[in-house]
Amino acid sequence: MKFVQYSFSYFLLVVCVSFFSCSKPKTETTPAPPPKPGEITLTVDPSAITLARDQPYLGRVVATVKNLPAGESVDIVWSSDDPRIATVTDAGLVYPKGAGETYVTASLVSGKAAARCKVIVTDNSDFKFRIVLKDKGPTVFSIGSPQSFLSAKAIERRRKRNIPVDESDLPISTEYIKAIQQLGGIVVAQSKWLKTVTVHCSDQFLSDKFKELPFVENVIMVWEGKRGVAPVRGYADHPQMGSNTTTLPVDYGAALENISVHKGQQLHARGFKGAGIDIAVIDAGFLNLKSNPLFKNVHIKGAKSFIYENDDPYAIGQHGVWVTSCMAVNKPGIYVGTAPEASYWLLRTEEDDTEYPVEEDYWVSAIEFADSAGVDIVNSSLSYTTGYALVDARYTFEQMNGKTAFASRGANMAFSKGIFIVNCSGNERSWVGTPADAPGVLTVGSVNSHLSIDNFSSWGITVDGRMKPDVVARGGGVNVVNIYGTVETRSGSSFATPNMCGVAACLWQAFPDLSNQQLLELIRNSSDRAVKPEIPFGYGLPDMEKAINMATPK
C-alpha cells in the first residue's frame, strides 16, 4: 500500500490502467448526479464486468479520483461484498471465485468518496460435495433382522468371527436422503459406516443449503468438473459362472515368478487355490474383461461401477484387467494366477482422467458394498497422497496416521467387520498414502526379479510410528494379461498387491479358522525379515511354506 503526498489541489489518480479478459455487459443504470464544484469524486471503470470462473483470467478495475485536497491520502481501499463470488486485490485486480453477482468497491482511506463495480461471474462447472451427517436418522431396519440389509454370507462371516451386527451396519435414513435430494443434490455415493452422503450438483453454493439441514455436520467439496456431461447409464450386471478348477501339477506359464517368489505353489499343491474365497477387486476399470479369452473361465460373482459418470465397470480402464489377471486367470501353460479358483467381485471406483477426493467416497462405498455382499478379501491397487486437483484436499505426511484419511477410516471399519484388505504401498517413492496407512491393511511394496526394492515403491514410518509397507511381493517387471488377451510385462506396486492377495486367499482357505488379524500376523511373521523388520521392506518377503508350518497344529 503506497501513500503519496501531492501539493496541488486537482489531480487524476489511476490506480490500475486496464482490465483483462472481461466484458462490459449491457446494463441500464441511473447516472450519478453531477458533483458539486470542488467536491471530491471517485469513479471506477468499468462500472460492470463479467468473468468466467472456470478460466484462469481476471479483471482489472480502474479507480479515478478528482479534486483531492493537498495533503490528503490518496490510498484506495478495495473490498468485495461477497468474496465467495469474487475477490479484489489492493491493485483492483478482480478474481472470480463462484457463480453469481456481487460488487467490488473502491473507497478512499479517509472514507470521503467511494464507487462500485458490479461483478458477474459465470460458471461452466459441476460439483460434488461430501455431506457429513451428525447421525444416520430414523430407519425401518433393525440390527435384530440383518438379513434385510446384509447378505447371508456377510452375516455368516460376522457369526463365524464373533462380530456383532451393530448400528454401524444400518443404512442411512431414507428421510435424510430425500431431504438432500429435494434441495437439488443427486446422490452418487453413501457411507453408512462414516455417516456421509456424496452428491452431484451444478450450484456451487448449494453447499450452504446442505449445511442448514439440521442433521448435517459439515459439507466438503470433493470434485469439480465440466458441466453438462451426461452420465452414461444402462449397464445390467450378469455374473459369469466360470469353471475355474485347476488340475495338478499346475503349469503356471508366464505367471510362474509371480507365485514362486512366495513358494505359493506349496499351497496350490495341497489343493488350496482360493476356492470358497470371495475377493473384491477395487480398481480403475475392467475394459472388456468378460470378453477377454483368458478370463473366460474366471468365476465373476458380479461387477459394479461406482463412478457417477459411467455405471459400466467394463466400459473403460485397463488397470483393473492387469491387476485381476495376477490372481484370477486360469489358463495352464499360458498364465495361472495366484488364486485361480477364487470367486471375484469387480468394483470400479477410480477415474482415469482426473484425481479428486470423490474417488475415496467411491472406494468406501465399494468396500461397504463388498462387506454387504459377504466378500472375504479386498484387493486395492490404489493410493491417494498429494495428487488431488483440489489443492486443499491434498494429504500431508502428518495426516497419514491410519485414522484421518477418508479411505483409511473406511478400511478400518471394513477390517472390524472381518474383511482382509491388501493394498499397494504406492509408486511415489515416499510415505504411503491412504488407505495403505491403515493399521488393519496389509500394505504391499514392490520388489524386482533380483528381490531388490523397486525404485518407485513407496515406504516409510507413519506419523504414529508404524512401518509401511508390511511386506513386499514381486511387482517390478511382472507378467500380466492385457485387454487383448495376451501377456505383457509391467511394473508397479499395483501388481505386487494382487500377487500377494491371491496367495493370502489360498492361505486363508487352508486355515479358515484364522481371523483377519491372525492372518495378517501370520503373513508378516512368515516373511524373511520378520525377526528384524526394516525399511523399505517391512517384514520382507512372505514364505508360504513357512506360513503353513507355522499355522499347522503341532
In percent, the amount of the chain with pLDDT more than 70 equals: 93
In angstroms, the Cα distances linking 123 to 55, 299, 545 are: 9, 46, 60
**Whether the predicted model's global pTM rises above the 0.85 cut:** yes
Q: Please write the tens of the pLDDT for every residue from 407-423.
A: 999 999 999 999 999 99
The pLDDT, as a whole number, for residue 245 is 83
- Strands, E, within 160-265: which ranges? 186-191, 196-201, 216-226, 240-241
In angstroms, the Cα distances linking 38 to 34, 72, 74, 157 are: 11, 14, 16, 87
Residue 15 reports pLDDT greater than 60: no
The pLDDT, as a whole number, for residue 13 is 35
Nearest one of 73, 77, 74, 60 to 17, comparing CA atoms: 60
Q: Residue range 26-47: average pLDDT?
A: 70
Fold of the 251-551 domain: Rossmann fold (3.40.50)
Q: How many CB atoms lie within 10 A of CB 345?
A: 23
Residue 11 reports pLDDT greater than 70: no
Rounded distance between C-alpha atoms, residue 475 and residue 258, angstroms: 8
pLDDT higher for 284 or 31? 284
pLDDT higher for 98 or 267? 267
Fold of the 13-26+41-122 domain: Immunoglobulin-like (2.60.40)
First to last CA, the chain: 81
Residue 114 reports pLDDT greater than 80: yes
Residue type, 535: I
The pLDDT, as a whole number, for residue 58 is 79
Q: Residue range 227-242: average pLDDT?
A: 91
Fold of the 126-226 domain: Alpha-Beta Plaits (3.30.70)
Residue tagged 480398481 (cell numbers): 283
Nearest one of 388, 314, 401 to 358, comparing CA atoms: 388
Rounded distance between C-alpha atoms, residue 466 and residue 457, angstroms: 17
Domain boundaries, the chain: 13-26+41-122, 126-226, 251-551
Residue 121's H or E segment, with its range, is strand 114-122
Same topology, domains 13-26+41-122 and 251-551? Answer is no
Rounded distance between C-alpha atoms, residue 285 and residue 225, angstroms: 20
90 in helix, strand or coil? coil
What are the φ/ψ torsions at residue 260 (nearest 5 degrees)? -65, -25
Which residues lie across from 136 on neighbouring strands?
A: none
In which band, very low, low, confident or very high, does the pLDDT at 242 lie, cut at 50, 70 and 90? confident
Rounded distance between C-alpha atoms, residue 480 and residue 489, angstroms: 6
